[in-house]
Amino acid sequence: MACRHLSILVMVAVFALAPAVGLATTIYDVQHNETTPGTGNDCFPSPFDDQVVTVSGIVTMDSIGNGYNDFWIQEADTAWSGVFVYQNTYDLVVGDSVTLWGALVDEYYGLTELKNLDSISVHSQGHTLPAPIDISTGDLAAEDSCFAVGEHYEGVLVRVQIVACTDVGGFGEWLVDDGSGECLIEDYIYEYVPNVGDNFASITGIVHYSYGQYRIEPREAGDIIPETPVESTGDPGILPAGYSLSQNYPNPFNPETEIRYALPERAYVRLEVYNLLGQRVATLVNGPQEAGGAVVRWDGTSDEGTSLASGIYFYHLQAGEYSATRKMVYLK
Protein backbone atom coordinates (compact mmCIF):
# COMPACT_ATOMS: atom_id res chain seq x y z
CA MET A 1 0.00 0.00 0.00
CA ALA A 2 2.87 2.39 0.81
CA CYS A 3 4.37 1.78 -2.63
CA ARG A 4 1.06 2.55 -4.28
CA HIS A 5 0.78 5.86 -2.41
CA LEU A 6 4.35 6.71 -3.41
CA SER A 7 3.55 6.03 -7.11
CA ILE A 8 0.55 8.35 -6.94
CA LEU A 9 2.68 11.09 -5.35
CA VAL A 10 5.31 10.73 -8.09
CA MET A 11 2.64 10.95 -10.81
CA VAL A 12 1.19 14.10 -9.25
CA ALA A 13 4.64 15.66 -9.03
CA VAL A 14 5.43 14.92 -12.71
CA PHE A 15 2.08 16.31 -13.80
CA ALA A 16 2.71 19.49 -11.82
CA LEU A 17 6.03 20.03 -13.61
CA ALA A 18 4.62 19.47 -17.11
CA PRO A 19 3.85 22.57 -19.21
CA ALA A 20 0.29 23.74 -19.73
CA VAL A 21 0.09 22.39 -23.26
CA GLY A 22 -3.42 23.43 -24.24
CA LEU A 23 -4.79 21.87 -27.41
CA ALA A 24 -2.11 20.36 -29.65
CA THR A 25 -2.80 21.57 -33.19
CA THR A 26 -1.15 23.06 -36.30
CA ILE A 27 -0.52 26.63 -37.37
CA TYR A 28 -2.68 25.92 -40.42
CA ASP A 29 -5.65 25.06 -38.21
CA VAL A 30 -5.08 28.16 -36.07
CA GLN A 31 -4.95 30.47 -39.11
CA HIS A 32 -7.28 28.89 -41.65
CA ASN A 33 -10.62 30.64 -42.01
CA GLU A 34 -12.19 31.36 -45.39
CA THR A 35 -15.83 31.39 -44.31
CA THR A 36 -16.31 34.16 -41.71
CA PRO A 37 -14.69 37.39 -42.92
CA GLY A 38 -16.13 39.61 -40.21
CA THR A 39 -15.75 43.38 -40.38
CA GLY A 40 -13.37 46.08 -39.20
CA ASN A 41 -11.10 44.70 -36.47
CA ASP A 42 -12.50 41.19 -36.71
CA CYS A 43 -11.39 40.06 -40.19
CA PHE A 44 -11.23 36.29 -40.61
CA PRO A 45 -10.84 35.51 -36.88
CA SER A 46 -9.04 32.31 -35.92
CA PRO A 47 -11.29 29.32 -35.17
CA PHE A 48 -9.17 28.99 -31.98
CA ASP A 49 -9.58 32.61 -30.89
CA ASP A 50 -9.20 32.93 -27.08
CA GLN A 51 -8.13 29.28 -26.74
CA VAL A 52 -4.80 27.90 -25.48
CA VAL A 53 -2.88 25.78 -28.01
CA THR A 54 0.46 24.08 -28.60
CA VAL A 55 2.05 24.42 -32.07
CA SER A 56 5.44 23.82 -33.70
CA GLY A 57 7.39 25.46 -36.50
CA ILE A 58 10.60 27.09 -37.72
CA VAL A 59 11.44 30.67 -36.72
CA THR A 60 11.39 32.68 -39.97
CA MET A 61 11.96 36.17 -38.51
CA ASP A 62 13.00 37.56 -35.15
CA SER A 63 13.11 41.10 -33.74
CA ILE A 64 16.01 40.77 -31.31
CA GLY A 65 17.95 43.48 -33.11
CA ASN A 66 15.05 45.87 -32.53
CA GLY A 67 15.03 45.34 -28.78
CA TYR A 68 11.97 43.07 -28.77
CA ASN A 69 11.39 39.34 -28.44
CA ASP A 70 8.61 39.08 -31.02
CA PHE A 71 9.09 36.45 -33.70
CA TRP A 72 7.30 34.58 -36.47
CA ILE A 73 7.14 30.82 -37.02
CA GLN A 74 6.09 28.77 -40.04
CA GLU A 75 5.45 25.07 -40.48
CA ALA A 76 5.43 24.67 -44.31
CA ASP A 77 5.83 26.61 -47.57
CA THR A 78 2.07 26.92 -48.05
CA ALA A 79 -0.64 29.46 -47.34
CA TRP A 80 -2.07 29.66 -43.79
CA SER A 81 1.16 28.17 -42.39
CA GLY A 82 2.74 31.11 -40.51
CA VAL A 83 1.87 33.08 -37.37
CA PHE A 84 3.14 36.02 -35.31
CA VAL A 85 4.22 35.43 -31.69
CA TYR A 86 3.88 38.48 -29.46
CA GLN A 87 6.53 39.54 -26.89
CA ASN A 88 7.88 36.73 -24.79
CA THR A 89 10.96 36.22 -22.68
CA TYR A 90 12.82 33.93 -25.09
CA ASP A 91 15.62 35.06 -27.43
CA LEU A 92 14.97 32.93 -30.51
CA VAL A 93 16.75 33.36 -33.84
CA VAL A 94 15.90 32.56 -37.44
CA GLY A 95 16.23 28.83 -38.16
CA ASP A 96 15.29 27.60 -34.68
CA SER A 97 12.92 24.61 -34.65
CA VAL A 98 10.52 25.19 -31.75
CA THR A 99 7.37 24.03 -30.02
CA LEU A 100 5.26 26.68 -28.28
CA TRP A 101 3.50 25.25 -25.24
CA GLY A 102 0.32 26.79 -23.85
CA ALA A 103 0.04 29.77 -26.23
CA LEU A 104 -3.08 31.92 -26.12
CA VAL A 105 -4.60 32.64 -29.54
CA ASP A 106 -5.65 36.28 -29.76
CA GLU A 107 -7.18 38.42 -32.50
CA TYR A 108 -5.44 41.76 -32.10
CA TYR A 109 -7.24 44.28 -34.32
CA GLY A 110 -7.50 41.73 -37.12
CA LEU A 111 -4.05 40.12 -36.61
CA THR A 112 -4.01 36.52 -35.39
CA GLU A 113 -1.22 36.22 -32.83
CA LEU A 114 0.03 33.86 -30.15
CA LYS A 115 0.90 35.25 -26.71
CA ASN A 116 1.23 34.47 -22.98
CA LEU A 117 3.25 31.34 -23.70
CA ASP A 118 3.70 28.84 -20.90
CA SER A 119 7.07 27.67 -22.28
CA ILE A 120 9.09 27.07 -25.45
CA SER A 121 11.10 24.02 -26.46
CA VAL A 122 13.98 24.65 -28.88
CA HIS A 123 14.61 21.32 -30.60
CA SER A 124 17.46 22.32 -32.93
CA GLN A 125 18.92 25.30 -34.75
CA GLY A 126 20.10 26.35 -38.21
CA HIS A 127 17.20 24.87 -40.16
CA THR A 128 16.55 25.76 -43.80
CA LEU A 129 13.51 28.03 -43.92
CA PRO A 130 10.36 27.30 -45.91
CA ALA A 131 10.68 28.64 -49.46
CA PRO A 132 8.97 32.01 -49.96
CA ILE A 133 5.65 31.83 -51.78
CA ASP A 134 5.48 33.92 -54.95
CA ILE A 135 2.48 36.26 -54.87
CA SER A 136 1.45 39.42 -56.71
CA THR A 137 1.40 42.84 -55.08
CA GLY A 138 -2.31 42.89 -55.83
CA ASP A 139 -2.81 39.98 -53.43
CA LEU A 140 -2.07 42.42 -50.57
CA ALA A 141 -3.30 45.62 -52.20
CA ALA A 142 -6.79 46.14 -50.81
CA GLU A 143 -7.22 49.01 -48.36
CA ASP A 144 -10.06 47.12 -46.68
CA SER A 145 -8.47 44.25 -44.77
CA CYS A 146 -11.51 41.99 -44.96
CA PHE A 147 -10.68 40.12 -48.13
CA ALA A 148 -9.62 36.51 -48.41
CA VAL A 149 -6.38 36.62 -50.43
CA GLY A 150 -4.26 38.66 -48.02
CA GLU A 151 -5.39 36.63 -45.03
CA HIS A 152 -4.01 33.48 -46.67
CA TYR A 153 -0.47 34.77 -46.23
CA GLU A 154 -0.60 36.40 -42.79
CA GLY A 155 2.62 35.39 -41.01
CA VAL A 156 3.95 33.61 -44.11
CA LEU A 157 7.23 34.20 -45.95
CA VAL A 158 6.39 35.53 -49.43
CA ARG A 159 8.08 37.12 -52.46
CA VAL A 160 6.94 39.68 -55.03
CA GLN A 161 8.89 40.01 -58.27
CA ILE A 162 9.56 42.70 -60.89
CA VAL A 163 8.17 45.58 -58.87
CA ALA A 164 8.65 49.35 -58.90
CA CYS A 165 8.53 51.77 -55.98
CA THR A 166 5.51 54.04 -56.50
CA ASP A 167 5.50 56.05 -53.28
CA VAL A 168 7.68 56.67 -50.23
CA GLY A 169 5.77 57.61 -47.11
CA GLY A 170 6.75 58.18 -43.51
CA PHE A 171 7.37 55.74 -40.66
CA GLY A 172 9.50 53.44 -42.82
CA GLU A 173 6.67 52.55 -45.17
CA TRP A 174 6.80 52.54 -48.99
CA LEU A 175 4.70 51.15 -51.83
CA VAL A 176 5.61 48.84 -54.70
CA ASP A 177 3.57 47.63 -57.66
CA ASP A 178 4.01 44.82 -60.19
CA GLY A 179 1.06 46.11 -62.22
CA SER A 180 -1.62 44.35 -60.18
CA GLY A 181 -1.99 46.95 -57.42
CA GLU A 182 0.16 48.70 -54.83
CA CYS A 183 1.50 46.72 -51.88
CA LEU A 184 2.93 48.17 -48.66
CA ILE A 185 6.53 47.43 -47.61
CA GLU A 186 7.55 48.18 -44.00
CA ASP A 187 10.99 48.39 -42.38
CA TYR A 188 10.06 47.12 -38.91
CA ILE A 189 12.99 44.67 -38.97
CA TYR A 190 15.25 45.82 -41.82
CA GLU A 191 15.49 49.47 -42.90
CA TYR A 192 15.76 50.29 -46.60
CA VAL A 193 15.18 53.74 -48.07
CA PRO A 194 14.12 53.62 -51.76
CA ASN A 195 13.33 56.34 -54.24
CA VAL A 196 10.14 56.58 -56.25
CA GLY A 197 10.80 54.85 -59.57
CA ASP A 198 13.36 52.36 -58.22
CA ASN A 199 12.89 48.91 -59.75
CA PHE A 200 13.42 45.64 -57.92
CA ALA A 201 13.93 42.12 -59.22
CA SER A 202 12.29 40.80 -56.05
CA ILE A 203 11.34 41.66 -52.47
CA THR A 204 10.97 38.90 -49.88
CA GLY A 205 9.52 39.14 -46.39
CA ILE A 206 6.89 38.14 -43.86
CA VAL A 207 3.29 39.26 -44.37
CA HIS A 208 2.12 41.24 -41.35
CA TYR A 209 -1.18 43.01 -40.68
CA SER A 210 -1.41 46.35 -38.91
CA TYR A 211 -3.53 49.50 -39.04
CA GLY A 212 -6.00 47.97 -41.48
CA GLN A 213 -3.44 46.89 -44.10
CA TYR A 214 -1.41 43.86 -45.00
CA ARG A 215 2.28 44.59 -45.56
CA ILE A 216 5.54 42.78 -46.35
CA GLU A 217 8.32 43.08 -43.79
CA PRO A 218 11.79 42.26 -45.21
CA ARG A 219 14.25 40.71 -42.75
CA GLU A 220 17.69 41.54 -44.16
CA ALA A 221 19.57 43.08 -47.08
CA GLY A 222 19.28 39.89 -49.13
CA ASP A 223 15.49 40.17 -49.12
CA ILE A 224 15.58 43.29 -51.31
CA ILE A 225 17.18 42.73 -54.72
CA PRO A 226 17.35 45.79 -56.98
CA GLU A 227 16.88 45.18 -60.68
CA THR A 228 20.19 45.13 -62.53
CA PRO A 229 20.15 47.48 -65.54
CA VAL A 230 20.26 45.61 -68.84
CA GLU A 231 21.70 47.43 -71.83
CA SER A 232 20.56 46.68 -75.37
CA THR A 233 23.19 45.93 -78.01
CA GLY A 234 23.15 45.93 -81.78
CA ASP A 235 20.61 47.32 -84.24
CA PRO A 236 17.09 47.22 -82.72
CA GLY A 237 15.69 46.51 -86.17
CA ILE A 238 17.74 43.33 -86.61
CA LEU A 239 16.72 40.44 -84.33
CA PRO A 240 19.12 37.64 -83.37
CA ALA A 241 18.66 34.38 -85.28
CA GLY A 242 18.56 32.39 -82.05
CA TYR A 243 19.27 32.35 -78.33
CA SER A 244 22.90 32.66 -77.29
CA LEU A 245 25.07 33.27 -74.22
CA SER A 246 28.56 34.67 -74.83
CA GLN A 247 31.69 34.23 -72.76
CA ASN A 248 32.07 37.06 -70.27
CA TYR A 249 34.72 39.69 -70.96
CA PRO A 250 37.20 40.25 -69.51
CA ASN A 251 37.82 36.81 -68.08
CA PRO A 252 39.46 36.52 -65.57
CA PHE A 253 38.13 39.84 -64.33
CA ASN A 254 38.61 42.47 -61.65
CA PRO A 255 36.76 44.56 -60.67
CA GLU A 256 33.99 44.11 -63.27
CA THR A 257 32.98 41.94 -66.21
CA GLU A 258 30.35 42.03 -68.98
CA ILE A 259 27.96 39.18 -69.78
CA ARG A 260 26.24 39.32 -73.19
CA TYR A 261 23.32 37.28 -74.46
CA ALA A 262 20.78 37.38 -77.28
CA LEU A 263 17.04 36.73 -77.48
CA PRO A 264 15.27 36.06 -80.80
CA GLU A 265 11.91 36.75 -79.17
CA ARG A 266 10.42 38.22 -76.02
CA ALA A 267 11.11 35.91 -73.08
CA TYR A 268 11.24 35.71 -69.31
CA VAL A 269 14.94 35.86 -68.44
CA ARG A 270 16.85 34.71 -65.38
CA LEU A 271 20.61 35.28 -65.30
CA GLU A 272 22.21 33.94 -62.13
CA VAL A 273 25.70 33.38 -60.74
CA TYR A 274 26.67 30.23 -58.83
CA ASN A 275 29.77 29.23 -56.86
CA LEU A 276 31.63 25.91 -57.12
CA LEU A 277 29.28 24.37 -54.54
CA GLY A 278 26.30 25.05 -56.77
CA GLN A 279 24.97 27.77 -54.47
CA ARG A 280 23.35 30.79 -56.11
CA VAL A 281 25.24 33.90 -55.03
CA ALA A 282 23.79 36.59 -57.30
CA THR A 283 20.70 37.15 -59.44
CA LEU A 284 21.59 39.57 -62.23
CA VAL A 285 18.39 39.50 -64.29
CA ASN A 286 14.95 38.27 -63.33
CA GLY A 287 12.07 39.36 -65.52
CA PRO A 288 10.59 39.66 -69.01
CA GLN A 289 12.74 41.16 -71.79
CA GLU A 290 12.10 42.13 -75.38
CA ALA A 291 13.92 40.42 -78.25
CA GLY A 292 17.43 41.62 -79.04
CA GLY A 293 20.94 41.62 -77.66
CA ALA A 294 21.66 42.52 -74.04
CA VAL A 295 24.67 43.12 -71.82
CA VAL A 296 24.84 42.95 -68.02
CA ARG A 297 27.76 44.08 -65.87
CA TRP A 298 28.73 42.25 -62.69
CA ASP A 299 31.21 43.46 -60.07
CA GLY A 300 31.69 40.29 -58.04
CA THR A 301 29.17 41.13 -55.30
CA SER A 302 26.44 38.91 -53.92
CA ASP A 303 22.72 39.64 -53.69
CA GLU A 304 23.42 40.85 -50.14
CA GLY A 305 25.92 43.41 -51.45
CA THR A 306 29.03 41.70 -50.06
CA SER A 307 32.19 41.23 -52.11
CA LEU A 308 32.72 37.57 -52.99
CA ALA A 309 36.00 35.69 -52.70
CA SER A 310 38.33 35.14 -55.63
CA GLY A 311 37.67 31.94 -57.50
CA ILE A 312 35.70 30.16 -60.19
CA TYR A 313 32.03 31.03 -60.72
CA PHE A 314 29.37 29.93 -63.18
CA TYR A 315 26.76 32.16 -64.80
CA HIS A 316 23.55 30.51 -65.96
CA LEU A 317 21.00 31.93 -68.41
CA GLN A 318 17.42 30.66 -68.53
CA ALA A 319 15.33 32.35 -71.25
CA GLY A 320 12.11 30.60 -72.17
CA GLU A 321 13.11 27.01 -72.98
CA TYR A 322 16.73 28.02 -73.63
CA SER A 323 19.33 27.25 -70.97
CA ALA A 324 23.10 27.75 -70.99
CA THR A 325 25.95 27.97 -68.47
CA ARG A 326 29.49 29.35 -68.75
CA LYS A 327 32.47 29.55 -66.41
CA MET A 328 34.27 32.73 -65.30
CA VAL A 329 37.14 33.54 -62.95
CA TYR A 330 37.09 36.37 -60.42
CA LEU A 331 40.52 37.61 -59.30
CA LYS A 332 41.10 40.17 -56.57
In this prediction, residues 74-91 reach a mean pLDDT of: 91
Given CA atoms 180, 184, 187, 191 in this order, what sign does their dihedral have? positive
Q: What is the Cα–Cα distance from 169 to 147, expressed in whole angstroms?
A: 24
Residues 234-248: tens digit of each pLDDT = 777 788 999 999 999
- Report the C-alpha gap between 98 and 153 in whole angstroms: 21
Per-residue confidence (pLDDT) for residue 58, from 0 to 100 = 97
pLDDT tier for residue 202 given thresholds of 50, 70 and 90: confident
- The amino acid that residue 217 corresponds to is E
User: Average pLDDT for residues 3-17, to the nearest whole number?
Assistant: 34
Q: What is the pLDDT of residue 42?
A: 62
Average pLDDT estimate for 210-229: 87
The structural domains of the chain, ordered by start, are 15-124 (2.40.50.140), 133-226 (2.40.50.140), 231-330 (2.60.40.4070)
Alpha-carbon gap, residue 255 to 283, rounded angstroms: 18
pLDDT at 262 over 90: yes
Question: Looking at the predicted structure, is the pLDDT value of residue 20 above 80?
Answer: no
- Kindly indicate the confidence band of residue 149, based on its pLDDT and cuts at 50, 70 and 90: confident
The pLDDT value given to residue 34: 74
**This prediction's pTM:** 0.72
Q: What is the pLDDT of residues 264-290, one digit of tens each?
A: 999 999 999 999 999 999 999 988 888
